[in-house]
């Protein structure tokens, strides 16, 4: 397989659920290896449906999807060998009696002997600061702990592609920051890892995204670098996303292209003489 091949190639994909709901409508998107792409869009805009296509869980009515060089959903089994996922409904994926067994599950399913799988699971749990949860039943963890454990299970297989559907929804501020820190650390250690993440949180997008994709009515409406997309309050609001507070403030002050970085914004205000 060539290293230059994109991680994900989606061409004119359409998905209709029974009843004729067009959840994904002629959507095209190409994601390069090593890229972190953050997908933003209002409720019901088709984000989860799109991710389910990338995972090969659904068959498109029209169009073609290739993931890691494999045709989806026909070759989904092969593609999924190298894919880690945190589903929107995390309860659907935590199935084993203990956290350790759950995190080791992906390795055992890929033929790694149980002892070795548990050794590697312990290592990842330590890396993510979750070692104290090892013997707990996953179903009794808090929402934030569940998402972190699901992330551990997704990265333990050392995936080429990581898919995260609203991974910080329901997390408190500190837990969300911790999740983002952990992901940033993972990306530093594994620069070839491709990450596709959906969120409503502009801070998460600003910290992690190489590219932001806005979707609406089942199709890509705008895409671009975070400092262009996330500093356009009108565009974000049209897509159900709350713009960063400092971006709104600078817009109110008549600045059309405010910086995404808060410290740069403070510097800009200072240079305008707007400080105490």
Ligand X SMILES: Nc1ncnc2c1ncn2[C@@H]1O[C@H](COP(=O)(O)OP(=O)(O)OP(=O)(O)O)[C@@H](O)[C@H]1O
Chain residues binding Mg ion by CB under 5 A are: 47-48, 88
Residue 86 CB, nearest distance to ligand X (Å)? 14
Nearer to Mg ion, 5 or 91 (CB): 91
Q: How far is the CB of 80 from ligand X (least distance, A)?
A: 20
Pairwise CA distance, residues 35 & 237, whole Å: 25
Instruction: Closer to Mg ion by CB, 33 or 216: give it.
Output: 216
Q: Which long-range contacts (C-beta less than 8 Å, at least 24 apart) are formed by 258-263?
A: 258/231, 259/227, 259/231, 260/206, 260/226, 260/227, 260/230, 260/231
- Tokens of residue 174, six digits: 């500190």
- Whether 58 contacts 15, CB under 8 Å: yes
What tokens does 27 get?
């959507």
Contacts to ligand X by CB under 6 A: 17, 21, 23, 41, 43-49, 88
CA dist 12 and 64 (Å) reads 7
Residue nearest to Mg ion (CB): 48
Give least dist CB 48 to ligand X, A: 3
How far is 127 from 272, CA to CA, in rounded Å? Answer: 44
The smaller minimum CB distance to ligand X, of residues 34 and 63, is found at 63
Nearest approach, Cβ of residue 191 and ligand X (Å):
28
Considering beta carbons, is residue 141 or 215 the nearer one to Mg ion? 215
Q: Rounded to the nearest whole angstrom, what is the least distance from the CB of residue 17 to ligand X in the complex? A: 3
Partner that binds at residue 271, options Mg ion, ligand X, none, CB closer than 5 to 8 Å by kind:
none
Q: Which is nearer to Mg ion, 88 or 207 (CB)?
A: 88
- The rounded distance, in Å, linking the Cα atoms of 216 and 18 is 20
């Amino acid at each position: 397989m060539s290293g230059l091949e994109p991680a994900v190639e989606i061409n004119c994909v359409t998905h209709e659920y029974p009843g004729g709901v067009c959840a994904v409508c002629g959507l095209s998107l190409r994601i390069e290896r090593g890229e972190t792409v953050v997908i933003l869009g209002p409720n019901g805009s088709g984000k989860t449906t799109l991710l389910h296509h990338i995972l090969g869980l659904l068959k498109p009515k029209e169009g073609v999807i290739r993931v890691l060089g494999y045709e989806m959903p026909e070759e989904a089994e092969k593609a999924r060998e190298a894919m880690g996922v945190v589903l929107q409904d995390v309860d659907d994926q935590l199935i084993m009696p203990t956290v350790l067994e759950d995190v080791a599950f992906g390795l055992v399913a890929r033929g790694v002997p149980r002892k070795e799988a548990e050794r590697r699971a312990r290592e990842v749990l330590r890396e993510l600061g979750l070692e104290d949860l090892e013997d707990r039943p996953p179903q009794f963890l808090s929402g934030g702990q569940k998402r972190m454990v699901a992330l551990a299970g997704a990265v333990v297989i050392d995936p080429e592609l990581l898919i995260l559907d609203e991974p910080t929804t329901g997390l408190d501020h500190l837990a969300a920051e911790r999740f983002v820190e952990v992901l940033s650390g993972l990306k530093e250690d594994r620069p070839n890892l491709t990450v596709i993440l959906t969120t409503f949180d502009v801070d998460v997008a600003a910290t992690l995204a190489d590219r932001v994709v806005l979707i609406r009515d089942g199709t890509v409406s705008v895409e671009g670098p975070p400092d262009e997309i996330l500093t356009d309050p009108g565009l974000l609001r049209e897509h159900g996303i709350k713009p960063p507070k400092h971006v709104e403030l600078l817009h109110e002050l008549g600045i059309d292209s405010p910086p995404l970085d808060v410290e740069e914004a403070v510097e800009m205000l200072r240079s305008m003489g707007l400080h105490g």
